[in-house]
Amino acid sequence: MVFDGLLEGKTDEMAEFEQHARDWLTLLEKLGPRFTLETAGRTFSLLPETDPIPIDRFGDSPEDDFRRLLEQFVGAVGPGAGKRVFSTLRSMRYRPGEVVQALYAVGPDGTVQLHSEVAEAETTPPSQPVPPKQQLRRIAVGLAVGLLILAASSWFVDWKAVSAALFPTRATIAEEDLTVEAPHFAPFFEIGDVAVGEDGAHAIVLLQRTEAYPIDDATASAAVTAAGDSVSRRLAVEALVRGYVRLEVLGPGDTLLYTREARIAGLNEQESVILTVPLGSLPGVRKVSLLP
């Protein structure tokens, strides 16, 4: 799949928008597409890298998956996004003997509209991957050369001091070691992708609402009725109506490191939102729990 074109616009809250946009880019990169954000004053531009990317991390309809992700980005612009954002972004997905071309336009209401068509094309099968044994051989040779250079230079370079200066110690956590849970909200939203920011100072969590999510008074009343005598379920509905949940960041043995409120009211208007969880330099972070 290949992307080209650009998306550009204006926002009155550049600092808040840029933070949201950076988090969005981190999540998007996990799926494969790589984009660059450029800002100047109140204006911004989103430009894709034009190298082909694999689509194995997308669902059955990569174009629609990307449309929904792009809608999150546009939503961060704020009220009136449909009149402030202009898009010429398009994608081309190649299949045997054909190409799926898609254009992503921003409508007056701020939604991203997908226009796609399939055309015949001469396509080339992807190159075969390098066999594992050959990969290991290349890695071994590279390591051997690197070790020889390091050994020779260690006579006159204090590599330990250089490493400490360039890469100061910071308490970080690998994405696969971080658990994010929200058992009380299971009927109302699901936890999607989880990423750790490049600086290791925050986690980025994608929340996706379900059909049961209370988006207005009628659906909220129905959710309260469905909760019955369950206190935890009623508290969950009340939290969603307020638009805030409680975050608990936990360490080893579920030791509480800190707690704070987080705003998720955006789920009232969007199918998904990005939640940023500050980690700072907290040691031993293992779990993030979302509670009423």
Domain of 72, CATH number, reads 3.30.70
Mark whether 148 and 224 lie in a shared domain.
Answer: no
Domain boundary residue, one of 120, 154, 187: 120
Cβ density class 123-135: b for 16+ within 10 Å, e for less:
eeeeeeeeeeeee
The pLDDT, as a whole number, for residue 169 is 44
The pLDDT, as a whole number, for residue 159 is 45
Q: Would you tell me how many other CB atoms lie within 10 Å of the CB of residue 69?
A: 20
Quote the DSSP letter at residue 155.
Answer: T
What CATH number does residue 267 fall under? 2.40.30
Mark whether 143 and 196 lie in a shared domain.
Answer: no
Written as six digits, the tokens of 67 are 């449309």
The pLDDT, as a whole number, for residue 213 is 93
Nearest to 26 by CA among 195, 177, 192: 195
The pLDDT, as a whole number, for residue 141 is 59
Strand 272-278 and strand 202-209: the pairing is antiparallel
Within a domain: residue 221? yes
Distance CA 261, CA 24 (A): 21
For the chain, how many structural domains are there in total?
3
Written as six digits, the tokens of 164 are 């400490």
Mark whether 191 and 162 lie in a shared domain.
Answer: no
Contact 44, 21 (CB under 8 A): yes
Distance CA 35, CA 50 (A): 9
Mark whether 35 and 66 lie in a shared domain.
Answer: yes
Written as six digits, the tokens of 33 are 């597409």
Mark whether 53 and 143 lie in a shared domain.
Answer: no
How would you write the pLDDT of the chain (292 residues) with one tens digit per residue?
888 888 888 888 888 888 888 888 988 888 888 898 888 888 898 988 878 888 887 888 889 889 888 988 998 888 888 888 888 888 888 888 888 888 888 888 888 888 888 887 666 655 555 565 566 666 665 666 566 655 555 554 454 544 444 444 444 677 788 899 999 998 899 998 888 876 667 888 999 999 999 988 888 888 888 888 888 888 899 889 888 888 888 888 888 887 888 888 889 888 888 888 887 666 678 899 999 8
Mark whether 202 and 230 lie in a shared domain.
Answer: yes
Full residue range of the structural domain in which residue 162 is found? 132-166
Written as six digits, the tokens of 283 are 């040691």
Contact 82, 108 (CB under 8 A): yes
The pLDDT, as a whole number, for residue 196 is 82
Within a domain: residue 26? yes
Contact 190, 210 (CB under 8 A): yes
Q: What is the CA radius of gyration of the chain?
A: 23
Mark whether 195 and 152 lie in a shared domain.
Answer: no
The pLDDT, as a whole number, for residue 185 is 93
The pLDDT, as a whole number, for residue 288 is 92
Give whole-number Cα distances, 17 to 24, 243, 284, in Å: 10, 19, 30
Judged by phi (left if over 0) then psi (alpha if -120 to 50, else beta), residue 97 lies in left
Residue with tokens 């579920």: 254
Within a domain: residue 125? no
The pLDDT, as a whole number, for residue 263 is 86
Contacts 24+ apart (CB under 8 A), 179-182: 179/286, 179/287, 179/288, 180/205, 180/287, 180/288, 180/290, 181/287, 181/288, 181/289, 181/290, 182/245, 182/289, 182/290, 182/291
Domain boundary residue, one of 57, 88, 120: 120
Nearest to 1 by CA among 26, 33, 46: 33
Q: Give the three-state DSSP class for 208.
A: strand
Q: Give the three-state DSSP class for 153.
A: helix
Mark whether 100 and 156 lie in a shared domain.
Answer: no
Mark whether 143 and 233 lie in a shared domain.
Answer: no
Contact 5, 46 (CB under 8 A): no
Mark whether 138 and 225 lie in a shared domain.
Answer: no
The pLDDT, as a whole number, for residue 162 is 45
Mark whether 286 and 218 lie in a shared domain.
Answer: yes
Within a domain: residue 254? yes
Within a domain: residue 126? no
The pLDDT, as a whole number, for residue 118 is 84
| Helix 14-31 with 62-75: angle, nearest 10 deg | 160
Mark whether 94 and 202 lie in a shared domain.
Answer: no
Within a domain: residue 127? no
